[in-house]
Amino acid sequence: MSARGTSDGAIAVIGLGRFGCHLAGALTRLGHEVLAVDRDSDQVQRWAPYLERVVQADATEEDALRQLGLADFRRVVVAIGVSLEASVLTVVALTEVGVPQIWARATSDKHARILASVGAHHVIFPEAETGERVAHLIVSRMLDFIEFGDDFAIAKVPVPPSLVGRSLRDLTPERYGVLVVGAKLPEERFRYATADTVLSKGTVLIVEGTIAQVQQFANLG
């Protein structure tokens, strides 16, 4: 993977602590190109054999991000957890280079508010969320995702644009691979899915199926 001209599926993970490494590994297993970045040379050397591309750089410096081609990435995850200052400055630098989707790790509610105020689009708390789960959320339109083992998952997803105006009677497991178990229409509460429910723009669905089926359904156009 070259630094510039990256594919749309490429994702950068900044910070190679336990969470950052688990996340980078999970994204790689999902078939995405991953650029892992850390300012500590020991961490870079430690994880180089396990990740496709690992580089040493100070991600708080805008020039360093540009040299790595981060301006060409659509999604970047700031997984830094030890230094609040480095975490915040990295988000600021990513905002300056124009990254459209910045995911940032927070270690407290105060940290989360600061990250959001300086430009983070999504704030995550890895103490409560696994790297595998966050990886699925990053690479799809899913709003929430729970894996139960044996390749089974339940997800909350916005209704795909192509299904707006259709009834749940049309969304059969045979056709779409997932079972719709709940629906929340705009301005309404979640309720059990019924065949007569008509999907409008802004509807949120609860679906179940294999991990691959749920992921594929969430990414329908």
Structure tokens at 218: 């969430």
HEC sequence for the chain: CCCCCCCCCCEEEECCCHHHHHHHHHHHHCCCCEEEEECCHHHHHHHCCCCCEEEECCCCCHHHHHHCCHHHCCEEEECCCCCHHHHHHHHHHHHHHCCCEEEEECCCHHHHHHHHHHCCCEEECCCCCCHHHHHHHHCCCCCEEEECCCCEEEEEEECCHHHCCCEHHHCCHHHHCCEEEEEECCCCCCEECCCCCECCCCCEEEEEEEHHHHHHHHCCC
pLDDT of residue 211: 78
Contact call for residues 27 and 35 (beta carbons, < 8 A)? no
Higher pLDDT, 72 or 108: 72
* Contact (CB, 8 A) for 123 and 151: no
State the sign of the Cα–Cα–Cα–Cα dihedral 135, 137, 138, 141: positive
Measured between alpha carbons, how far is 172 from 45 in angstroms, rounded to an integer?
Answer: 49
**5 pLDDT above the threshold of 70:** no
Tokens read off for 194: 């019924």
Give the per-residue pLDDT at 182: 83
- With cut-offs at 50, 70 and 90, classify the pLDDT of residue 65: very high
Q: In whole angstroms, what is the distance from residue 98 CA to residue 74 CA?
A: 9
Q: Whole-model pTM?
A: 0.62
Q: What is the reported pLDDT for 210?
A: 82
Question: What's the pLDDT score for residue 139?
Answer: 56
The whole-number average pLDDT for the span 165-193 is 83
